[in-house]
Every structure is written in C-alpha cells, then in structure tokens.
Amino acid sequence: MKYFRLLTFALLLVGLSAFIEGNNKQFEISKNLEIFANIYQELNTHYVDDIDPARLMRTGIEAMLETLDPYTNYISETDIESYRYMAEGKYDGIGANVRKIGEYVTIVDPYEGGPAIDAGLQAGDMIIAVEGKDAKGKKADEVNDVLKGFPGTEVTLTIRRPGEDKDRTVKVKRDEVAVKNVPYSGMINDEIGYVVLTTFTNNAGKNVENAIRDLQKNHPEMKGLIFDLRNNGGGYLREAVHISNLFIPKDEVVVTTKGKVRDRDRSFNTVNEPLVPEMPLVILTNKYTASASEIVSGVVQDLDRGVILGDKTYGKGLVQNTVDLEYNAKLKLTTAKYYIPSGRCIQSVSYRDGEPIDIPDGERAVFKTRGGRKVLDGGGIIPDVETGIKNQSAIVRFLTEDDLIFHYATKYHQEHDQIGDARDFDFSDFDDFVKFVHDKKVEFKTNTEQELEELMVAAEDEHFKELIESNINAIRDQINQEKSDDLFENKDEIVSLLEREIVSRYQYQTGRIEKSLQNDQDIKLASDILRQPEVYRRYLQRK
C-alpha cells in the first residue's frame, strides 16, 4: 500500500512538472509575441524614415527561420509560382530559364513546347524592356516575377538579339508550363539503358516506370540500366517510394520518418511487385543529389540491389510539411527525419552558410547493408564507386563563368541553319572559337597574376618596385604564353562544352542530354560495370 502511495505521488509530481513546463512555455510564447508586436508597431509608427511594413515583417520572419535548418522557409503570396514549380514542376509563365548576363536579363534555356519557343524567342535574346519599361540593370528574379502570370494573358517584351541591328518587339502568351521530370531516356549502347530524373515532382514515379517499360519494349536485349540522379534535389516522398518499388520487392520498408510528435512517425513500404527486380542497376549521384534522391540511392545501397557510382550526396534527411497561412502564404517546416532500411539517417548534422559541412568518416556511425557491407550515417550517401569531383581547369572555368561558351553558341546558331542529329554533331572549328575569345578582349587573370599585382603594390609602397619590376614583367609574359597554350591543352573539354551548348540551341534540353552522354566519364564507367557481371557482383559483395 505504501509503495502504491509513493508511486501515485511520483506520477503526480511528473504530471505536475509537465503541466508547469507546458504552461511556462506557453507563457514565454505569449510574452514574446506581445513584445514582438509592440516593437513592430512602434517602428512603423515612430521610426524616422518611412518603413515598408510587409518588407520589415518578412525580414523578421526570415531572420527567425535562419536560426533553424535551411529547409524551413516562409513562402509569401508573391513566391507561390516559384514554390509551385519546385513542388509540382509546373508554373504559369513564358516557359524559359533566364539569367542576368552583363546589364540585361537574358534567355538562356527556353523549354521545349513552351510559349517562349512558340513566340520565336531564342537562347541569347536579351530582355531590354518588359511592357515598355526599361529592364536594364534589373535582377533575374525581378524580371521573372513579371514574366509569370495567369495562362492566356500576354506580356510584351523588347528583345535585343546579338548580331541584329534593331531590337524586336515580341508578344508572348503565358501558359501553364510543365517542365519534364524525365527529360530523356534511351540506350547508351545495344545492352545498357539510361533514364535521367531531374526532380521528384508529381508523377515522377509513373514517368520513370513508363520510361523503363518503353526501353524494355523497344529494346528486349537490354541487360542493364543506368539511373541518373545527379543534380536532383529531391521532392515528394511518395514518388521516392514509388521509384524504389520499381527495383525492390513488395512489402519492403523504404523509409521511416521520426519526429517530435511520436504519434506521427510512419513507415513507408513498397506495395507492388517490382518492374525490374533483378536487372543490374547503377545509380549515378553527385554532391547535388539530395533528399528524395538520397532515399532511392540509399535504399538501393542498403538492400544491395544496385551499385551507386559518382560523388557523395548532399546529406538532406529531413521531411518538410507545408502549412497554409493567411493571405495565401505558406510555411514549409521540417517535422521529421527519415531513416532508410539499414537504420541510418543521412542528414548532415551541421551547416555553414546554408550548406552541409563534411563529417569525417571516423565520426560517422557504422551500419550494415542486408548483405553485410558497411555503410555510414550522417552526411549523405557514399557511393560504392567513387569517381571523385572533377576539377575544371582555370581557363575552362573562365570560359564558362564569363559566358564565352554561351555567347559563341549564340553566334554559331545565327550562322548555321541546322546541325543534323545531336549525336552526330562534331564541332570542328576550334580556331574560330579561339579567335572569338581573343576578339572579345575579356581579361582572364589567374590567381598568380592577381598575387603579382598585389606584390607590385606592396613593392611600390616599400620602394622596391624598380628592383623587382623586370622580373615580374618576365613572369607575366610567361604566364600570358601559358594562358594562350591553355586553350589548346584543354581543347577536348572545351569542345565538349561547346557541342552541348550549340546542340541545345537547335534541339533544346533533349539534344543537350543526348550530346552529353557521349563524353560523360561516369556513364562510360557505369556502362563498363554493367557489361561485366563479375565486376558488378563484386561491388555488391561483403568486403
């Protein structure tokens, strides 16, 4: 009896403590909301300069959310179209990717079948004005906001096309633009199929399934599949489960979510018989493979169903839910972490400037795949075959970042009506490209040259300029000669980039992918592995 009374008393203390703690938390929330409201009111009423109330509140909300993970975000009414594109792969607008190049926002990638192409717009067209309003100096987001709008409405653009003397006035009728999440599927060779998925938006699973079925139907000799998840930032969890089910058996646990509210923890299982239960599979990943992409690649690795090849993935193991707020706004907040079949969570534990920080392998917990292979948690999926990050040479980065490859492709498109099939196109006029680069007179400075300039400034301040100037100039002359040689030493890589960009001007995203397959070293290695069964099996065996 005495024990029972003590137990009852203890339970009452626990309950009372929880009650007090809960009340204290609610009091803190109410107190701080009141303080925040008072500050907001005082600033809007008495601050010396005029304040935009919406902008001030947005700043406050975003500052609060910045103390959490990078994926908990406030989505205002003006951001809804961008959110819809990220979530569904759809938005209402002109159907073109734009980027600021120089002083003007420029069309860089019109989408196949979209309004921009129907209106005659091309990559390289500079947007000089929108609805008669000067667009010089505007940011890409500012112009993009105006280009989006209700289907059926028109927007009038003033376009400056390189190589033409007069600007064009173009009317574009906005429409719902659906960007394909499976932009390409085909055969790498007689035996190996290839499917690329860019995002886990609506119907991603269905589209991947249809792509594989078509390959099986049209190429019954197919003996292996490369599934490309590079640069895929994820999307809907349900689509990740659907896609995993294409490769793994029915009733397998794909992923389990665990959060603060235990009643909401869930496990997601496969519900169908797999489409390709035994076909050899290689999944391609890189550092931008994230979220739902990591679920699929992690599940395939944990169940020893296929080989993961490429670079370590991003490390996003968080689940977001979207809550509707007043005035058509939304809050996307993290509610749980997900765990794949081995029991590991691939979420990175810390961030710097919104990006995950690498965790040394020695500090990551060890788990095992179904076949007994060791795998690690915390910070992404480590591929079974690591190909390493490809470092571009300084000259190639310069040509890309200064848009010289982009501008040359525009010039080439204007001078050539057609190029034939993307796979057969070979760029052979490298001397013309070199002349184009020299004619642009864009100054390319290496890190060494920048440090030499700093050295000359320091030498002048310390009165050593005359002593070292002749030596510095000799070094500069040598560097200039080396830079000229760099173009030819990196010819193969530059030509490959030129071919992709040029092909995209005629055959858009599909052509770009088809051309890139010919020079992709990861795809070549994956194909070699799939064509050698003993090598493929070796990667899946316990070490």
Dump pLDDT digits (tens) for 253-265: 999 999 888 888 8
Residue-averaged pLDDT of the chain: 86
User: E strand or H helix at 496, and its extent?
Assistant: helix 491-516
What is the arithmetic mean of pLDDT over 118-137?
94
Which residue type occupies 338?
Y
Residue range 488-513, pLDDT digits in tens: 888 999 999 999 999 999 999 899 99
Residue range 186-200, pLDDT digits in tens: 999 999 999 999 999
> What local confidence, expressed as pLDDT, does residue 242 receive?
98
> What local confidence, expressed as pLDDT, does residue 310 receive?
96
Beta strands 307-310 and 192-196 are unpaired
CB atoms within 10 A of CB 46: 7
Closest CA to 360 of 370, 373, 349: 349
Backbone angles phi, psi at 346, to 5 degrees: -95, 10
With a cut of 60, say whether residue 5 has pLDDT above it: no
User: E strand or H helix at 168, and its extent?
Assistant: strand 168-173
Q: Which domains does the chain have, with CATH numbers?
A: 90-178 (2.30.42.10), 184-389 (3.90.226.10), 394-444+490-522 (no CATH)
Cα–Cα distance for residue pair 199/17, rounded to 1 Å: 47
SS3 state of residue 62: helix
> What local confidence, expressed as pLDDT, does residue 4 receive?
45
Task: Please report how many Cα atoms fall inside a 13 Å half-sphere around the Cα of residue 288, on the Cβ side.
Answer: 9
Q: Which residues are catalytic?
A: 291, 302, 316
Closest CA to 498 of 406, 403, 395: 406
Closest CA to 162 of 204, 106, 205: 106
Which residue type occupies 40?
Y
pTM of the model: 0.77
